Structure 1
């Protein structure tokens, strides 16, 4: 990944995380935006997240989808040429790493 894309991914991650902290309902649980993957042309951004308790996964996904327009408006303020289309996805890599860690302990 290029340095520019890496920096932009990090900025989007921080923006989404800040939005969640400021706007998510209190009953949604603890949400962590773990990473953002941008396509090479910057037209799509996959935003990965985790949530505790895990039962709130759908609530969080719905919250993010319902607020996609507001989040995109915040990204627009970064003054970038291409505003990426956002996709939200549970970060399953974290669960895999957790499982492997627990097996080794």
Structure 2
């Protein structure tokens, strides 16, 4: 990934994370935006998140989807050529790594 796309991904991650901290209902639990992956042409951004308790993942995804328009308006302020469409997904890679660490006594 190019430096420019990396930087844009980080900016999008920060915008969404700030929005979640300021606006997510407390009963969703602890939500963390873990990473943003941009498509090659920058037209799509896959936003990964984790949540505790884990059972709230679908509710978090619904919250993010419901607020997609607001998030896109905040991203537009970055003044980038292409505003990416947003897709939200629970970050399962982190869960896999946690299990591996647990199996090897690292956690």
What SS does structure 1 have at the residue aligned with 2:49?
A: strand
Offset, 1:65: 0.4
Offset, 1:29: 0.3
Structure 2 unmatched runs, 5+: none
Kindly report which structure 2 residues correspond to 1:1-105, keeping only aligned pairs within 5 A, or say none: 1-105=1-105
State how many pairs are aligned.
Answer: 105
Offset, 1:46: 0.1
Offset, 1:67: 0.3
RMSD after superposition = 0.4
Equivalent-residue separation in structure 2 for 1:51 and 1:83 (angstroms):
26
Equivalent-residue separation in structure 2 for 1:54 and 1:46 (angstroms):
19
**Displaced runs of 4 or more, over 4 A:** none
Structure 1 unmatched runs, 5+: none
Scaled by the length of structure 1, what TM-score is found?
Answer: 0.99
